[in-house]
């Protein structure tokens, strides 16, 4: 599966994505968790202390004068699959992690962004499951960043602002580069009516419901992945059900 999580800032994209990726990896699947947020947070939710691994500068070359295509690309001879083998960082349960790196100034950041996108665009579909954490808001998902995904999960919490962002994302996704599937994941649910609110306001089918869970948040505050610190917490169990639901949709 190739899943991208989108939604308003702070709704729980990284926490859900990290737990999702680890759960899927535990099933023995090759999982590449990808963070395209310039303020990365996914590594911590995966239980990996890395936040600085990036695609190295010498893996990327600039387009020659008169050449067509993007300004920067992977060094000739370096295929996307090899780049992942070299630059993705292995983590617990065998999950692998790729990010384009911290927000750095100028050119380096730019180079690494192009390479990151090229890798995701050219990686053979059967090589890895992708679980992507996109930055908050509506911009990035619709400028090609989420185009590797066949399933977009719009994470929504039952607050007026998050619902509004969820609704915008749902509309944009259907209008533009429509992914094969788009669903809502309702996070930080406190009451049953929260789920109805999301259905009514976004028009999206709800594929997962994650309860408000103090243990989940506490694990993160302590700098640990929820799946490691509180494996039986209600929110972790709910993300496991989400993995089942997404996997089930894909085979049906
Ligand atoms: N179900 C939940 N119950 C309680 N707290 C949660 C739940 N889901 C996420 N959180 C907490 O909410 C905070 C924000 O979550 P997270 O960082 O995953 O959001 P995000 O959408 O990735 O944010 P950003 O847009 O800034 O990247 C974290 O402290 C996290 O632990
Ligand atoms: Mg995040």
Q: Which is it for the CA torsion 197, 208, 122, 77, positive or negative?
A: positive
Task: Say if residue 216's pLDDT is above 60.
Answer: yes
| Minimal-distance CA residue to ligand 1 atom 29 | 217
Q: From the CB of 216, is ligand 1 less than 6 Å away?
A: yes
The reply to whether ligand 1 has any atom less than 6 angstroms from the CB of 151 is no
Pocket test for ligand 1, best of 159, 217, 230 (most atoms within 8 A of CB): 217
* Radius of gyration for the alpha carbons in the chain, expressed in angstroms and rounded: 18
Tell me the percentage of the chain whose pLDDT exceeds 70: 89
Task: For residue 63, report the distance from its CA to the centre of ligand 1, in Å.
Answer: 39
* 229 within ligand 1 shell (Cβ under 6 A): no
Q: Residue 151 sits in a domain of what CATH number?
A: 3.40.50.300
Percent of the chain predicted with pLDDT > 90: 56
Q: Taking residues 190-213, what's their average pLDDT?
A: 93
* Predicted local confidence at residue 114, as pLDDT: 84
Angstrom distance (rounded) from CA 47 to CA 30: 17
Residue 117 structural domain: 2-251
Q: Which residue has the tokens 């509309």?
A: 171
Give me the pLDDT at residue 157, please: 93
Substitution candidate for ligand 1 out of 4, 6, 7, 10 with most atoms within 8 A of CB: 10
Q: What is the DSSP letter of 7?
A: B
User: With bands split at pLDDT 50, 70 and 90, how would you rate the model's confidence at 84?
Assistant: very high
Cα gap 4→177, rounded to integer Å: 13
Query: If you measure from the C-alpha of residue 225 to the centroid of ligand 1, how many angstroms do you get, rounded to a whole number?
Result: 12
Position 106 confidence tier, pLDDT thresholds 50, 70, 90? low
CA dist., res. 157 & res. 194, Å (int): 8
Q: Which residues contact 164 (CB under 8 A, 6 or more apart)?
A: 8, 201
Ligand in closest contact with the CA of 213: 1
Residue 77 vs residues 60, 111, 112: alpha-carbon distances, Å: 11, 17, 17
pLDDT at residue 83 greater than cutoff 70: yes
Backbone angles phi, psi at 53, to 5 degrees: -65, 135
Q: Examine the pLDDT at 105 and tell me if it is beyond 60.
A: no
The domain total for the chain is 1
Bridge partners, residue 186, by sequence: 156, 209
Residue 133, φ and ψ in degrees, nearest 5: -110, 110
Where does the pLDDT of residue 40 fall: very low under 50, low under 70, confident under 90, or very high at 90 and above? confident
């Amino acid at each position: 599966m190739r899943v991208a999580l989108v939604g308003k800032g702070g709704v729980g994209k990284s926490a859900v994505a990290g737990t999702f990726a680890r759960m899927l990896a535990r099933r023995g699947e090759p999982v590449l968790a990808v963070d395209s947020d310039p303020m990365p947070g996914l590594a911590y939710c995966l239980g990996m202390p890395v936040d600085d691994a990036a695609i190295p500068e010498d893996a990327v070359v600039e387009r020659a004068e008169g050449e067509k295509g993007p300004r920067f690309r992977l060094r000739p001879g370096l295929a996307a699959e090899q780049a992942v083998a070299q630059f993705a960082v292995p983590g617990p349960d065998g999950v692998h992690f790729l990010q384009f790196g911290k927000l750095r100034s100028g050119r380096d950041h730019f180079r690494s962004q192009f390479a990151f996108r090229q890798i995701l665009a050219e990686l053979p579909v059967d090589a890895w499951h992708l679980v992507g954490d996109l930055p908050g808001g509506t911009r990035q998902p619709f400028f090609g960043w989420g185009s590797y995904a066949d399933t977009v999960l719009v994470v929504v919490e039952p607050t007026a602002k998050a619902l509004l962002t969820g609704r915008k994302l749902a509309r944009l996704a259907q209008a533009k580069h429509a992914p094969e599937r788009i669903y809502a994941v309702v996070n930080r649910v406190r009451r049953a009516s929260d789920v109805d609110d999301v259905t009514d306001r976004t028009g999206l089918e709800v594929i997962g419901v994650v309860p408000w869970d103090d243990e989940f948040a506490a694990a993160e505050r302590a700098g640990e992945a929820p799946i490691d610190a509180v494996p039986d917490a209600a929110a972790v169990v709910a993300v496991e059900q989400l993995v089942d639901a997404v996997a089930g949709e894909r085979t049906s």
